[in-house]
Homo-oligomer: A and B are copies of this chain.
Amino acid sequence: MQAPSHPRPALRAGLIGFGVVGSGTHGVLAANRQTIRARAGCAIDLTMVATRTASRAQAATDAGIEVMRCPMELARHPELDVVIEAMGGTTDARDCVMEAIAHGKHVVTANKALLATHGEEIFAAATARGVTVGFEAAVAVSIPIVKALREGLVANEIEWIAGIVNGTSNYVLTQMGAGGSSYADALAEAQALGYAEADPLLDVGGGDAAHKLALLAAIAFGGPPRLDAVHVEGIRSLQAADFLHAARLGYAVKLLAVARRSEGQVQLRVHPALLPRNSLLARVDGRMNGIMVKGDAAGVTMYYGAGAGSRETASAVVADLVDLARALRGGGRMCVPPLGFHDDNFAPPPMRALADVRMRNYLRFTLQRADAGPRVFEVLQRHGVLADKGTLSHDSLVMLTNAVAESQMLAALRDLEGVEGVRATPARLRVEELE
């Protein structure tokens, strides 16, 4: 039987930062207040905001929220149950989150960079203090993928996760695939539309996707987030020609975040990849995010939605707040650990070095002599790299290889540097079969 319920009047939330995420959270809590209260079992009150920006302070004041300048003061304020970290960055944000935890406050954050880099410390501190850290908004904002993996698929050994989790990159790649735009033009368009930052490095370099992958993999396989173990390649060197060749071969080009278990090890990698066009994941276009998961019981499931946006992010932040409110209602406690494992001694599988990962490869060689093609085949064959499919013209050779270890592929490519009549570095993309 359940304990008697003594409804608390409200969950008191304080917000550090009143920008895109903060104001969106306030907006959603205000707009849907009645429904959220009926679902949560108590009201969720945003009572305090810490911000140094005058215009934001004014906006918060207008919304009837107490404003303070010092985020650390908010983090330790005795009249708060939960602190929403929406300031960004990994230094001050870390200090604020740790301060909130030390003062027995629950934390909700959308900050993937923070949790991917300081997650181990933060989650351990939260567990020790008996509070929780909600981060649904940190991965593919509007999509409840953290909850799906941590709770919905909890019965499964996860075999692989393949995600399109960076909307900026996906927009650029979709444009390159649709119209044959160059990378530079597609990025400039994304920037003009406000879909890409002035400094887009974290997005197009793959770093942002790596942050999210580290969090998803920690939930799927156990252990703390292992950002250090993620192999990261971005999309900056992609060329429009390869999108056309890929399409002819039946593939789309996507920036993928992949966590895959094989032979008792887990590989974590972010890189552009060829994805079968008949897969639903290949149809996730524009700024949208999509995450496909293969579990040993559930089989393949997929989750799709917006990867950015003020209200979209707020949807996930508020979901974490309602989780908390429901749990704390009647004096209870959060019963789902942030990363989904109650047993701290659970040993996650060891990491697999990229060199050992076997994949098919797409290769495009630029030929300067008509007889260079056969030589390329010869060198590749010497390394066990065979062409499953290919087209050879007077100036280019395009192929899909058999599945080979990354180390094998790299050795073959090194050897090819000496072949006359071939531009030294071919265009290369790994192939993700989603199997």
**Chain A residues at the B interface, C-beta cutoff of 8 Å:** 1-3, 24, 28-29, 31-32, 35-41, 104, 129-131, 136, 142-144, 147-148, 151-157, 222, 280, 283-284, 295-306, 309, 311-312, 314-319, 322-323, 326-327, 329-336, 340-343, 346
Which chain B positions have C-beta within 8 A of A280? 280, 283-284, 304
Which chain B positions have C-beta within 8 A of A283? 280, 283
**Which B-chain residue is minimally distant from A330 (CB atoms)?**
B333
**Which B-chain residue is minimally distant from A31 (CB atoms)?**
B296
Query: When the two chains form the complex, which single residue of B29, B144, B302, B332 contacts A335, counting CB atoms closer than 8 Å?
Result: B332
In the complex with contacts A41-B342, A309-B299, A333-B2 CB distance below 8 A? yes
Distance in Å: Cβ of A337 to nearest Cβ of chain B: 8
Query: When the two chains form the complex, which single residue of B32, B143, B296 contacts A297, counting CB atoms closer than 8 Å?
Result: B32
In the complex with contacts A301-B143, A303-B301, A304-B280, A315-B153 CB distance below 8 A? yes
In the complex with contacts A2-B334, A38-B343, A335-B326, A142-B301 CB distance below 8 A? yes
Report yes or no: B322 in contact with A154, Cβ–Cβ below 8 A.
yes
Report yes or no: B2 in contact with A130, Cβ–Cβ below 8 A.
yes
- Can you sample 12 A-B contacts with CB below 8 Å? A1-B104, A35-B346, A41-B343, A136-B152, A142-B301, A152-B319, A280-B284, A298-B316, A300-B305, A301-B303, A302-B302, A332-B335
Distance in Å: Cβ of A344 to nearest Cβ of chain B: 9
Query: When the two chains form the complex, which single residue of B3, B299, B331, B333 contacts A305, counting CB atoms closer than 8 Å?
Result: B299
Cα distance A104–B309 in the bound complex, in angstroms? 44
Which chain B positions have C-beta within 8 A of A154? 36, 39-40, 318-319, 322
Report yes or no: A38 in contact with B144, Cβ–Cβ below 8 A.
no
Distance in Å: Cβ of A394 to nearest Cβ of chain B: 38
Report yes or no: B319 in contact with A142, Cβ–Cβ below 8 A.
no
Report yes or no: B311 in contact with A305, Cβ–Cβ below 8 A.
no
In the complex with contacts A1-B130, A38-B342, A304-B280, A32-B143 CB distance below 8 A? no
**Which B-chain residue is minimally distant from A142 (CB atoms)?**
B298
Cα distance A152–B24 in the bound complex, in angstroms? 17
Report yes or no: A144 in contact with B155, Cβ–Cβ below 8 A.
no
Report yes or no: A155 in contact with B298, Cβ–Cβ below 8 A.
no
